[in-house]
Each structure stands twice: as C-alpha cells, then as structure tokens.
Amino acid sequence: MKTLVITESDESDIRLGSLSAIAFAQSLPEAQLDTLCVADVFGENPTADSHAAVIAAAVNQKSYELVVAAATTYAKDVVARAAGLCGGSMASDVISHRFDGDQLLLDRPMFAGAVTATVTLSSIPRFITVRASAYNPVERSIVDNLNSLDTESLDVDYSDVPCAHWKSLASRASHRPDVTEAKIVVSGGRAFKSTEDFERLVGGLADGLGGAAGSSRALVDAGITPNDLQVGQTGKIVAPDIYIALGISGAVQHLAGMKNSKTIIAVNTDPDAPIFSVADFGLVGDVYEVVPQLIAELNG
Ligand SMILES: Cc1cc2nc3c(=O)[nH]c(=O)nc-3n(C[C@H](O)[C@H](O)[C@H](O)COP(=O)(O)OP(=O)(O)OC[C@H]3O[C@@H](n4cnc5c(N)ncnc54)[C@H](O)[C@@H]3O)c2cc1C
C-alpha cells in the first residue's frame, strides 16, 4: 500500500508525534512509506489551505492510497482539508487498530472519550491521524531510512486555495517542552488567580521537575494561560509518565485529555473533587501553600 506520512518538525528534529505516526504506518502490512514535511517545502506561506494543497498534489500525482499523520493541532487544521481536496475518507485521533480479514478496523474515542467508535474507511485515498500517546514512537534513526518525498516534481495548484493570505506570525517563545512531548506535565486550573501566580507556581514546579506546564480551559478562557497549554477534549491529549493537576476539578472534558497518564497526582482543596477519582495520589490542600513548599524542596 503506497503510504505517505505527514511529519512535523520543531527547530531541530522531527517531532515525537510524527515518530508515532510512522510506527502506526509501519505496523500495516506491505506499507511502502514515504514522508513529507510540508513546512520544509515552503516556509513563507504557511496557511492551512496551501499546506493542504501540497499534500493533495502529492497524493493525486504520486497515487498514495493512505496518508497518515499524528493527531496534532497542525493535523486538525491541515489533514482534513487535504482529505476533502482529494475526495478521500478520513478517521481522526485513532487510538488502536486491528484487522478483520483484509479490513482495517480503527478505534477512535468520541464524546470526550465516553465512547469508542470502531470505523472502517472505504474510499481511497484514506487519511488517518493517530493519537501519538497510543503508539510507541519509532527510533529517530528509522526516519533516515525512509524516502522523503521529492516535492520539486509536484505541480501544486494554488488557484483553488481560498483567500487567506499569510501576513505575519506572533508566536510565544517558551523554554519548556510541549505538553504532548514531556514525560512530566504540571497543569494548573482555576485555583490560580493570575498569570503571575501560574508562572511562579505551576511554571516553577514544572521547571523544578524538568517538565511542561499545562492548563485547564478555565484558565485559557480567563486569559491567564495561552491556548497552546490547554489539556483536554478541545485542547491537547497527553499521556505523560506523571501528570500533576493543581487546582483542577476534573471535569470530563479535562479528563479526556489526561486520564491515560501513567501516574496522576492531584492537589485540591475539595476532597470530593472528581479529579481524585482518577488520581493515583491525592492531596487535599491549598495550592498556594503546597506548591511553594514543593518548589522549595526541589530547589533544596
Ligand atoms: C465542549 C466543551 C469542551 C471543553 N474542553 C475542555 C478542555 O479541553 N479542557 C478543559 O480543561 N476543560 C474543557 N472544558 C471545560 C470543562 O468543562 C471545565 O469547565 C474546566 O475543565 C474547569 O476547569 P478547572 O478544573 O480549572 O476549574 P473548576 O472546575 O472551577 O475547578 C477548580 C478547582 O480548583 C479547586 N480549588 C480552588 N481553589 C483552590 C486552591 N487554592 N487550592 C487547591 N484547589 C483549589 C476547586 O476545589 C475546584 O475543584 C470544555 C467544556 C465544554 C463544554
């Protein structure tokens, strides 16, 4: 099966999620894999529509039957558009798969993880995004052995690209890893009253542990934390070794993004907070008292 894996890279290397997408693709029988990092093709016009146009051109002109990517914010924006341009079928956020004879069955959570749907894709080309935490990433060295698609030969038609034009990018620089890639995630919720408190306590603990800082949607909606820190149904899905939930109630939409973390630690003043029902370790306490003590202990 001719398969194209859409990869993403950070400043230095291919992202962990893309290594999981390759792992999924490699698990399929007779998959012939190429990779394509669209951001490498042209950095100057990075609208979702133009990226989708490049993918569609690659699929149509090189006859790929399957396109795989990690279920990231980027893929949500771009891969479904490409599927639409190609008239293909799509399953997003796949967490497991198996075969029934020749038929590929794909499991994907729905309704904030309340149910898991099993779907098959009938029309070709097929587009699949996989939840990175559900597939162990391949070794980075494997990427060197895969063919990176030569896009020079592609004839990309931008005439159908809608009228969103690239102007500029204002990005938030952070010294911390992304929540989807860190082994330890420290997340803060509505208990934190300001950006300064969040940075000092949640950020301070994350730094002390060498982890990422995450947030509930309550803080994003309040303008206290930026959108890219949000964990949950409409944020990022994480499954780190340790997830520390500080002053987060544990709404179902938040749990949908972190309940598969290996060890969950929660601090909350309310002993009946739902977060304690998924926590491996729980502490009933005030984050403004507990967290400074933890940071002081780490800085010891
Ligand atoms: C369609 C939809 C999608 C959504 N997607 C997401 C999503 O992706 N991610 C997400 O997080 N939410 C999401 N939500 C919102 C979600 O329903 C909750 O409103 C949100 O998660 C609550 O955030 P929170 O736990 O920080 O706040 P709250 O629910 O207000 O909880 C705050 C907690 O902090 C505790 N607390 C207060 N003060 C202290 C203190 N000093 N020390 C310790 N504990 C303290 C309280 O006891 C309470 O348990 C979504 C909602 C909808 C409808």
Tens digit of pLDDT for each residue in 71-99? 998 899 999 999 999 999 999 999 999 99
Same topology, domains 2-153 and 184-299? Answer is: yes
Extents of the domains making up the chain = 2-153, 184-299
- Provide the Cα torsion 68, 69, 70, 76; round to 10°: -120
> HSE-up of 80 (CA within 13 Å, CB side)?
10
Q: For residue 231, give the ligand 1 atom closest to its CA.
A: 9
- How far, in Å, is the centroid of ligand 1 from the Cα of 252? 9
The C-alpha atoms of residue 95 and residue 206 are separated, in whole angstroms, by 28
* DSSP, residue by residue, 218-250: HHHHTTSS-GGGBBSTTSB----SEEEEES---
Instruction: Give the pLDDT of residue 171.
Output: 73
Its CATH architecture, for the domain 2-153, is 3-Layer(aba) Sandwich (3.40)
**Residues in the chain, how many?**
300
**110 bridge partner residues:** 115
Q: For residue 288, give the ligand 1 atom closest to its CA.
A: 41
- Nearest Cα residue to 127 out of 85, 68, 81, 72: 68
Q: Which class does domain 184-299 fall in?
A: alpha beta
pLDDT of 92-131, one tens digit each? Answer: 999 999 999 999 999 999 988 889 999 999 999 999 999 9
Q: What angle do CA 51, 53, 56 make, to 5 degrees?
A: 115
Q: Which residues of 79-88 are buried (b: 16+ CB within 10 A; e: fewer)?
A: bbbbbebbeb
- How far, in Å, is the centroid of ligand 1 from the Cα of 246? 10
Mean pLDDT, the chain, whole residue set: 92
* pTM to 2 decimal places: 0.86
pLDDT of 199-219, one tens digit each? Answer: 999 999 999 999 999 999 999
For a substitution probing ligand 1, which of 254, 255, 259 has the most ligand atoms within 8 Å of its CB? 254
